[in-house]
Amino acid sequence: MATETIIKTLVRKLPVFSGMEEAAFNQLMSHGTQRIVPKNSAVFQQGEEADLFYLLVQGRLKVTQVTADGQQIIVRVVNPGDLFGFAMALGRKDYPGTPVALVDSSVLAWPMEMMSDFMARNPTLAVNTMQMIGSRLDAAHSRIREISTQEVEQRVAHAIIRLISEAGVKDEGGIRIDFPVSRQDIAELTGTTLHTVSRIISHWQGKGWVEGGRKSLLVRDLHRLQQIADSDI
């Protein structure tokens, strides 16, 4: 099928599958099933038994976790080409978070056993996966450092810069994030409240550095945000 071939070609180029033998790759692809995830719906729920692991082909997801007392945080944003829901690789049986589509998305899913089998037979895949998880660990540590040592304004600046670098698109007079992000989302990414985020963005807007909108944000002066993010003191 045409779409299948397109997807296959796309997937083939992903770093996780680099260095994998053609035969193995083909076998992998033949076992994956595609699924469309409409905006605002979840691929699976936190706590569910992890029987499948996923690859985001197209679209954008946010992975949220809810704490015992109902507070929510966004663990990360999933970009096209990212794997997610690989609970097994983390040595657990249930999904630790809930991935929600920020825009209509399309994912590929495989049975979790395939992952262990394939990794046992494809050391490259295992090493690649490990490095992917490793870089995520690195990112998590950066975030811990930020939340621990920086003030809210710096953290918000950082979060926005990160989103821009992952999904920034040029727009009239600036750069815009390619998918809808609410103030609440930014708050959950930075460990603060939507009120504080709103105040900060209003302030920036007053200075002309950004232009706010409903679930959107146009960055006019990225350099200035960088300064805010990096400012010592």
Partner DNA sequence: CGTTGCCTTGACTAGTTTCAAGATCAGTGG
Partner DNA sequence: CCACTGATCTTGAAACTAGTCAAGGCAACG
List interacting residues with a second copy (CB under 8 A).
Answer: 65, 67-69, 71, 73, 75, 89-92, 96, 116, 119-121, 123-124, 126-127, 129-138, 140-141, 143-145, 147-149, 188, 190-191, 230, 232-233
Minimum distance of a second copy from residue 90's CB (angstroms): 3
| Interacting positions 195-214 with DNA (CB under 7 A) | 195-196, 198-199, 201-202, 205, 212, 214
Token digits of residue 109: 């899913």
What is the identity of the amino acid at 185?
D
Question: Which run of H or E residues covers position 110?
Answer: strand 98-111
| 120: partner contacted, choices DNA, a second copy, none (Cβ within 5-8 A by kind) | a second copy
Alpha-carbon gap, residue 46 to 67, rounded angstroms: 11
Task: Tell me the pairing of strands 33-37 and 52-66.
Answer: unpaired
- Residue 152 lies near DNA (rule: CB under 7 A): yes
Q: By C-beta, is 5 or 67 nearer to DNA?
A: 67
Question: Which run of H or E residues covers position 77?
Answer: strand 72-78
Whose tokens are 């809210």? That residue is: 152
| 162: partner contacted, choices a second copy, DNA, none (Cβ within 5-8 A by kind) | none
Minimum distance of DNA from residue 213's CB (angstroms): 7
Task: Tell me the pairing of strands 174-177 and 210-213.
Answer: unpaired
Give all strands of the β-sheet with 210-213 in edge-to-edge order. Answer: 168-171, 174-177, 216-219, 210-213
Q: Site residues (CB under 7 A) for DNA?
A: 151-153, 182-184, 191-196, 198-199, 201-202, 205, 212, 214-215
